[in-house]
Structure 1
Amino acid sequence: MNVNEATSHFTKRPVWAQIDLTAAAENMQRIRKHVGNTVSVCAVVKGNAYGHGAVEMAGVFLDNGADRLAVACLDEAIELRQHGITASLLVLGHTDGRRASDIIQYDIETTVFCYEDAKHLSEAAEKAGTSVRIHFAADTGMGRIGYQACEESIREIKKISRLPFVAAEGFFTHFCVSDIKDKTFTQEQFRRFSWFRRRLEEEHIPARHFHCCGSAGVLAYPEFYCDMVRPGIIQYGCDPSSEVTTEGYGLQSVMSLRCCITHVKMIEKGSTVSYGRRFTAPKPTKIATLPVGYADGYPRRLSNQTEILVHGRRVPQVGLICMDQCMIDVTEIPDVCIGDEAVLFGKQENEVISVAELADKTGTIVHEILCNINRRVPRVYIKDGQVVKRVEYLLNKH
């Protein structure tokens, strides 16, 4: 794919997050094969599908092996419904029961860990002449949301299960350290989860799905799959952590961040670049300017410590990264021109700068780097090497 296609022959902003739909489809096919046909796959597309575009990724995942979808909040679910996604759709986070009318209107499955919310749902469903499907959340060690493993929790869950017009679709928990090699605490979490499951069965409280494995769990804990898993970051071709990786699974990175050079100039020895004058040219230096900065999600903490691909070679980023622009030293790259492609993360020719590399340099995780790619960055979707869609969030063309 060439720059002209990605930028609509430079009539669009020459900054884009390139999303490989072929890679995303193949990733889901591999996940589906890995977990087997007896386990449901609930594809997590929260956070705008980790920055990749929730509407587009939802369709790809559902077409290639996912059975259902999950998001973090109700408004994310409504967005998917408004774009024609009809699959079962679970909100993993808290939804106030007073938003029951939206839950019912859009046929959303919601997480419950509070009787009052469940009561609102039941009353609203009765008025609407329908029922609401809920998933109970268990806090087995995350310390976030959900019922703790005790008899008081069982009593409240039982009370909720007796409410009319509320159907228990699932029961789940979330592992907090399944992405490390030490399995001790994850095994303890599963033991607590299993206690819940046994007590629910004893109290005759039905739940169609039990699920606890996210991405790291999918890779490292097949024995804990129950009947449903919730892959997240691995769908996008990234490792859950440095200790639990996708190596050997054939998963491919889906997103790359690219732009075009907007200016090239020579500066003299001793000249400085950008705010704070944090870079001083040690010799006559060719500087290229890129139209991307921290407002686009390219972290300022990378200033003077990262590299960018130009003509298939790594070049140093120099000076402080600005809100909307940053500079690179292209002295060693011959024939650099305005309009040439620069890759901030991703592959160009035979060289790769991974998202994990940037995450390591900024002391964060790949999830944050991907999710922070700003809405002013267009998403350019490619399939089999050809542009098939360009999404401009700022121009309301989503």
Structure 2
Amino acid sequence: MRPTWAEVNLTALAENVAKVKDYIGPDVLLNCVVKGDAYGHGARQIAAAALNGGADSLSVATIEEAAELRSSGICGPILVLGFVPPKDAWQVARENLTATVFLPEQAQALQAAAARAGKTIKIHLKLDTGMSRIGIAGSDQDVLFAKSLKTYENLEFEGLFSHFSLAETENPSLALQQLHKFEIFSDQLKILGACPPVLHMANTAAIFRFKESHFNMVRLGVGMYGSMPASIIEDPLDLRPVMTLKTSIVYIKEVEKGRAISYDGTWIAPKDSLIGTLPIGYADGLSRSFGNKAQVWVRGTLVPVVGRVCMDQTMIDLSQVPQAQSGDEVIIFGESQPKRSTLMLAEEVGEIPHQITAVISKRVPRFYNNLK
């Protein structure tokens, strides 16, 4: 087997969930986000571990993601955050899902599907407060639409939610404007007796930065996997990295000063150097942005990635570690001493920690520990 793999620590994930659950307190529900195959960690395994750690519910992006969880035996509440096509309302009923709505035709289709199945479907109304993607705008007409959701016999208007676009930036003013817009709309619904019982807006950044945004449910995304979304957000809980991406050196060669490394010659050896080749590349999810920017652990030393990342291979400069040998383990990110978080790596290469793990491809085998 090619010596490139990911270790996924389910014990660490359950501990992270439990820590956040304790942090938000008993009056706030915890929804754990497992969309995108749980940010590349493996949705089936992560969903079970999150519920084991104390999550009250899960959320995904699509009906298909939710159906996969159901087929694996996940029975807890699952909120579909993305667009639910009216033609697929029957699947929401079949899988006992909670649907996001923002269009009258969605509500009508869900009502019809629920009635045919003899069930009640829970729905959450999406309010756009600043992302400018799906969601109602909060107009007077939208208030009437929200009120109408209470009239459907087979729908339970359970939640109202929105999403921050700027919760992790240094200036909080725009995030607070979004929060204010959400509060105004929910207050309008309360006056009309049409406000649902569950309100949620906080993502990982807002959980730790804007306690006033907790309402009675929060959505834990990247924090569950052991990273803050940006360095400006402090981690008061010492959350543990859940995925550790590893590979091994398969070849080492000496190159002379002036030698170009990899495609396009973007790195030229400034002196006689020791270059190691790793059997991992962008087809495995290692972004090309890692070239000449990222660092990886070899024998307790951070060494630089040099030259372009290739589809299947990546080169590193081992000049600082002359004792390195073929077969030595290399840690790209994850649990190490000291910790090498996805946030550290993301900031080196100009990406976000969510993306670092989410794009790790199926070609990289995942190995899961057992929950303790």
Coarse TM-score class (shorter-chain normalised): over 0.9
State the SS of the aligned residue for 1:78: helix
Amino acid at match of 1:41: L
Amino acid at match of 2:358: C
Matched, 1:21 2:27: no
The offset of 1:279, in angstroms, is: 3.3
State the SS of the aligned residue for 1:308: strand
- The 5 Å alignment of 1:79-94 reads 79-94=68-83
- Correspondence for 1:338: 326
- Correspondence for 2:232: 243
After superposing the two structures, state which structure 1 stretch, 218-227 or 29-38, moved more.
218-227
Structure 2: how far apart are the matches of 1:208 and 1:377?
42
- Correspondence for 1:187: 176
- Normalising by structure 2, report the TM-score: 0.94
- Correspondence for 1:326: 314
> Of the candidates 288, 301, 304, which is equivalent to residue 313 of structure 1?
301
Structure 1: how far apart are the matches of 2:84 and 2:173?
32
- Correspondence for 2:58: 69
Q: Deviations over 1:268-316 (max 9, x none)?
A: 4444332223334444433221110111111112212332211111222
Matched, 1:138 2:127: yes
- Correspondence for 1:380: 367
- Correspondence for 1:392: none
- Normalising by structure 1, report the TM-score: 0.88
Amino acid at match of 1:105: R
- Correspondence for 2:166: 177
Structure 1 residues 288 and 138: alpha-carbon distance in aligned structure 2, compared to 1, 3 A threshold: same
- The 5 Å alignment of 1:157-306 reads 157-205=146-194, 207-246=196-235, 248-306=236-294
Q: Tell me if structure 1 keeps the 8 A contact 2:186–2:195.
A: no
- The answer for unaligned runs of 5 or more in structure 1 is 1-11, 389-398
- The answer for unaligned runs of 5 or more in structure 2 is none
Structure 2: how far apart are the matches of 1:351 and 1:304?
22
Structure 1: how far apart are the matches of 2:221 and 2:177?
22
Percent identity between matched residues is 37
Structure 1 residues 126 and 373: alpha-carbon distance in aligned structure 2, compared to 1, 3 A threshold: same
Q: Tell me if structure 2 keeps the 8 A contact 1:313–1:351.
A: no
- Correspondence for 1:396: none
The offset of 1:29, in angstroms, is: 1.3
Matched, 1:98 2:94: no
RMSD: 2.0
Q: Tell me if structure 2 keeps the 8 A contact 1:30–1:250.
A: no
Q: Tell me if structure 2 keeps the 8 A contact 1:261–1:291.
A: yes
Amino acid at match of 1:302: F
Q: Tell me if structure 1 keeps the 8 A contact 2:248–2:278.
A: yes
Runs of 4+ that moved beyond 4 A:
none
Q: Tell me if structure 2 keeps the 8 A contact 1:181–1:244.
A: no
